[in-house]
Structure 1
Amino acid sequence: MALSFFRQGKQDVSEAQELLFKWPYIGLITFSITTLNFLITYNLRSATFQYVYFYIIDLVTTYLIIRFYSYGIRILNRKAPVHGDFAKRVTYQFTLHTLSVVIFSILINEFLDHLFFKGERLSLSFQFYTQDTVLAVVFTLLFHCLYLGLYLLSVKKPPQEEGIKKIKVFQGMAHKLVDLNKIICIYTSLGNTYVVDGHYNRFVSEKTLGEFEELVSERFFRANRQFLVTMTIIDSYKSAGNGKIEIFLNANSIGDLNKSIYVSRSKASSFRLWLKRG
């Protein structure tokens, strides 16, 4: 979780655990859960060709439930980010999120049962509510553990910036190597990307802001489409209209560096959390 459980610019999507909801991983997970559930639920010794039909419907059901699970994760990432109050996030995920996924599981199973089997396969059956629903709870809790476990593994990785890592920049016609640890701001202006070091020297870089976002760690915050900032360059900030935050920069002698920039409403909470972590 470098910058911002599905980073803000990429909507928290580049995280390791977000791969759970992307192909081919989501397909593998859907197949594995469906197959395991099928083996637990049915006596395959008396299987008929109709069981193939059952299995296909179960595959669709499991996929829809996982998609609903990922939708809930996106909501949690906005309301209770995993990189913020971790205990609060775990509580919400293991209670409200689990309950919503189980309810959705029941509703989608009932709907598909009535749609394809006229309610004669699962609907209101004792076995469904005592076995399949319990399995849904177990699989949901295991998925929570996997998701949060991947997050904890990712945050244990050493920040990329801690070592001496230099990038090539241009100062006039000359090439220069600048240590990433000494950069305090990266921004774009008129189609060019500029990096500013701790002495407020400005250099031109061939890299895009998105490429820099991949290189830097939590010392930087993606304030908007034009700016990656560190706390060093921030002089002060205040709340602005519509939930935005206005950041005042130590622009010094850099003429085209804005004296203030805005953080959008959607990123305001992440910005405050970033300040707390710093």
Structure 2
Amino acid sequence: MAFNMLFNGNKTDASQPQELLFRNPYIWLITISITTLNFLITYNLRNANVNYIYFYLVDILTTYLIIDFYAIGIAILNRKAPLNGDFTKRITYQFTVHTLAVVLFSVLINELLDNIFFSGKRLSLSFEFYTQDTVLSLIFALLFHCLYIGLYLLAGNKAPNREDKRNIKVFHGMANKMVPLNEIVCFYTSLGNTYVITNDNDRFHTDLTLTDLEQIVSQEFFRVNRQFLIRERIIDSYRSIENGKIEVQLKSRGNAEFDKSIIVSRGKASTFRAWVTAN
């Protein structure tokens, strides 16, 4: 899917349950379920014939493309207005602009495929299409919004309990040590090694990479650049600089690496501000 490229490219947390809606096998289960329900509502199956199988297969393709378009919109919203940022703003965008875009795309893709597979004779901008299928597209989009956001909120309510139980394995002398994730304020790399900084300013070495750690930690951490994965409470100050970038200063902890300013790229700047606000 096109969404997978945006999904991976934007470092969206794939472990979040709401994002699984757009991954196999769930996307196909949703596609077939919606298509079947829409088919039963739209057609009188008492007069069904072999052509209805062809109609059904084209409708599955149509529904899949609409859901894929819906997912691309979600990926863009996750980048521009993440759920863990200004939640009200995100909900407003999702229920208005995103909904309208999905409905318009539904109209266009239906008309396009109708002309490709049926020479424009099945829909042909019919009154029934705009009073039935378009309304159904709106209803399904709104229901999908509720499902997506509901899964997000459900995961958010459970996240603190899961996090308290998670530990990061580090090296303490010649032994291995488990450090609770909620005691860690920063991960960073230096000279090819990955280090862990705790609330008590203890520093440990771990064999995990920052990429590995991104898959483990919660949204309380932010990957500001290739070198640092931080919690909000370790930030001393930040300010906007040229070209839309952000300069971040960490609290001094007797570590030379923390005396340097960290630059957040222009592409991550808006997400960083939203993350700081949310935390």
1:230 matched to 2:234? The reply is: no
Residue of structure 2 in register with 1:138 after alignment: 139
* Corresponding residue of 1:100: 101
Deviation at 1:178, TM superposition (A): 3.0
Partner of 1:185: 186
SS at match of 2:117: helix
Between 78-87 and 96-105, the greater mean CA deviation after superposition? 78-87
Relative distance call for 1:214 and 1:115 in structure 2 (3 A) is closer
Contact map agreement 1:188 1:227 (CA 8 A) in 2: yes
- Number of the residue aligned with 2:210: 209
Aligned-partner residue type, residue 75 of structure 2: R
Give CA deviations for 1:39-67 in whole Å, capped at 9, x if unaligned.
11111121111111111111111111111
Note the C-alpha offset of 1:165.
Answer: 4.7
Q: TM-score, normalised by structure 2?
A: 0.88
Q: Secondary structure at the match of 1:225?
A: coil
- Per mean C-alpha deviation after superposition, the further-off stretch among 258-267 and 13-22 is 258-267
Kindly provide the amino acid, as one letter, of the partner of residue 11 in structure 2.
K
Shift in Å at residue 161 of structure 1?
Answer: 6.9
Matched, 1:57 2:58: yes
Structure 1 residue 122, shift from structure 2 partner: 0.8
Task: Give the corresponding residue for 1:151.
Answer: 152
Q: Secondary structure at the match of 2:84?
A: coil
2:88 is aligned to: 87
SS at match of 2:149: helix
Distance 1:226 1:161, change over 3 A: farther
- Alignment check: 8 A CA contact 2:163 2:218 kept: no
Cα RMSD between the aligned structures?
2.3
Cα separation, 1, equivalents of 2:126 and 2:182: 62
Q: Secondary structure at the match of 1:207?
A: coil
Distance 2:161 2:226 in 1: 22
Q: Secondary structure at the match of 2:158?
A: coil
- Per the alignment, do residues 79 and 130 of structure 1 end up closer, same or farther by CA in structure 2, a change over 3 Å counting? same
Name structure 2 gaps, 5 residues minimum. Answer: 1-6
Name whichever of 268-277 and 254-263 sits farther off: 254-263
Q: Distance in 1 between matches of 2:262 and 2:230?
A: 10
Name structure 1 gaps, 5 residues minimum.
1-5
Does 214-223 or 240-249 show the bigger shift? 214-223
- Equivalences for 1:1-278 in 2 at 5 Å? 10-160=11-161, 163=164, 165-256=166-257, 259-278=260-279
Moved more, 174-183 or 124-133: 174-183
Q: Which moved more, 1:38-47 or 1:266-275?
A: 266-275
In the TM superposition, residue 162 of structure 1 has moved relative to its aligned partner by 5.8
Please give the TM-score of this superposition, normalised by the length of structure 1. 0.88
Secondary structure of residue in 2 paired with 1:193: strand
Per-residue deviation, 1:167: 3.4
Tell me the secondary structure at the aligned position of residue 156 of structure 1: helix
Cα distance change, pair 165–36 in 1 and its aligned pair in 2 (3 A): closer
My pick for the range that moved more, 96-105 or 200-209, is 200-209
Pair 1:89–1:199, CA change in 2 (3 A): closer
Q: Give the counterpart letter for 1:201 in structure 2.
A: D
Q: Which moved more, 1:245-254 or 1:13-22?
A: 245-254
The percentage of aligned residue pairs carrying the same residue is 62
Deviations 1:233-260 (A, max 9, x none): 3222222332221112234433455622
Give the letter aligned to residue 244 of structure 2.
G
Residue 232 to residue 150, structure 1, CA distance change in 2 (3 Å): closer
Q: How far is the alpha carbon of 1:219 from its aligned partner?
A: 3.5
Letter in 1 for 2:76: I
Could you say what secondary structure the match of 1:14 adopts? coil
Letter of the 1:84 partner, please give it: G
**CA, structure 1 residues 192+274, in 2 after alignment: closer, same or farther (shift >3 Å)?**
same
Residues 165, 147 of structure 1: alpha-carbon distance in 2 compared, 3 angstrom cutoff: closer
State which drifts further: 220-229 or 163-172.
Answer: 163-172
For residues 159-195 of structure 1, give each alpha carbon's deviation from its aligned partner in whole angstroms, at most 9, with x where no partner exists: 2576365433223434334333332211122222111
- Checking the alignment, whether the CA contact within 8 Å between 1:34 and 1:58 is kept in structure 2 is yes
Between Structure 1 and Structure 2, the one with more helix by share is 2
